[in-house]
Amino acid sequence: MANAPRTAPLDLIDVDSLHSDEERQIRSVVRRVVDDRVRPHVAQWYEEGRVPARELALEFGKLGLLGMHLTGYGCAGASAVAYGLACMELEAGDSGVRSLVSVQGSLAMYAIWRFGSDEQKQRWLPRMATGEAVGCFGLTEPDHGSDPASMTTRARRSGDDWLLSGTKMWITNAPIADVAVIWARVDDRVAGFVVPMDTPGVTAREIRHKLSLRASSTGEITLDDARLPASARLPEAAGLKAPLSCLTEARQGITWGALGVARDCLHTAIEYATSREQFGRPIAAFQLTQAKLADMAVELHKGYLLALHLSRLADAGTLRPEQVSVGKLNNVREALAIARQCRTILGANGISGEYPVLRHANNLESVLTYEGTSEIHQLVIGQHLTGLAAFA
């Protein structure tokens, strides 16, 4: 049988035909900046455990990627699909780079945009949209990850001011941030606060020795009776539903971003398998290798169709939180399986930093956990199917 022409990982069922010209153009622009600005350097960033996050934020701001799905205040007002495609291209470069954009736009900016006062929006959102100001989102605590309702960070009144005390852990962008959205308990409810990071009593410590998301700035925030004016509170955020809605917003980007990892790993494996020879022919010519590639391509396309469907629902205003859980659970889980399988095709070269596969796999171990572990999303879906909560 004659050799058939090769097909790119996402050309198998012509998913490109499902997009508008504008969506494809946005994807191309982000892909170019990742190719130019991220790919040549990311292996070194990962190895050294550092990333020029503030420089990247400014570059991404110039392209309108920060808070791109929000409206007003210098934000692009792009569709959920366009935002998803941008996240896919960013994470094809590295999960840490996508995390920078996702935390900035879908967590910190979205919280202020959705729950903030006019003064808070005017002060922070325009500068965050350009990357001049970097934000972070302080929800997770050292002893309270999947159970944010048990947070111990407290806000108490002191005259007209608020005093915040507590610790937030595993906070992306914290060491470089200008502002943090901090969630704290006020009496028996959860409230949000916009906290400038230069506030006395606020300190951020870089978390070192990570084995995942090394090209990402991650920190611990300590609040020691940090004094804030009454105007620092997010006026429209009432209860735990507010920060959870921010996480739902960000999970859409993760659903797409994981596809970028899967696509990049599969592309790498195909390129390697068609050029690497063993037993006198390319390893791509062996049935076992082709079976692996075929199965991974099928899962990649299924995840893509799921992400696209969910984003179309989001653009229509009908997307529900449990549907986002389906996307995050499936796409991250399958992307991690694809990364691991691609590593087997590369053999010993799969652990080399010259190839992105194991770096992607290591990063996905964090993505699998943050913004809802797989188990939490299984319980969200299970509750929707049965009507019974199984969280306790």
Task: Please write the tens of the pLDDT for every residue from 285-304.
Answer: 999 999 999 999 999 999 99
pLDDT digits (tens, 9 = 90+) for 118-164: 999 999 999 999 999 999 999 999 999 888 989 999 999 999 999 99
> Residues 276-285: what's their mean pLDDT?
96
Burial of residue 4 (number of CB atoms within 10 Å: 0-12, 13-18, 19+): exposed
Spatial CB neighbours of 198, under 8 Å, sequence gap ≥ 6: 178
Residue 4: per-residue pLDDT: 60
* pLDDT, averaged across the chain: 96
Residue 311: pLDDT above 80? yes
| Residue tagged 């075929």 (tokens) | 294
| pLDDT level of residue 1 (50, 70, 90 thresholds) | very low
Does the pLDDT value for residue 8 go beyond 90?
no
For the chain, give the longest Cα–Cα distance: 82
Q: For position 9, what pLDDT does the model report?
A: 81
pLDDT tens for 256-270 read: 999 999 999 999 999
Asked if 236 and 120 count as a contact pair (C-beta separation under 8 A), the reply is: no
Residue 232's pLDDT is 98
- 220-237 pLDDT, tens digit each: 999 999 999 999 999 999
Question: What gap in Å lies between CA 347 and CA 350, rounded to an integer?
Answer: 5
pLDDT in tens, 75-123: 999 999 999 999 999 999 999 999 999 999 999 999 999 999 999 999 9
Distant-in-sequence, close-in-space partners of 211: CB < 8 Å, separation ≥ 6: 362
Q: What is the rounded average pLDDT of the residues 301-329?
A: 97
Give the per-residue pLDDT at 268.
97
Q: pTM (2 decimals)?
A: 0.95
For residues 25-41, average pLDDT: 97
Q: Is the pLDDT of residue 2 over 70?
A: no
Tokens of 294: 């075929």
Q: CB neighbours of 213 closer than 8 A, spacing ≥ 6? A: 95, 96, 99, 363, 366
Cα separation values, 290 from 7, 113, 250, 312, Å: 13, 48, 35, 33
Q: Which residue do the tokens 């084995």 mark?
A: 211
For 310, the token pair is 């969910």
- pLDDT per residue as tens digits for the range 349-375: 999 999 999 999 999 999 999 999 999
Residues labelled catalytic: 371
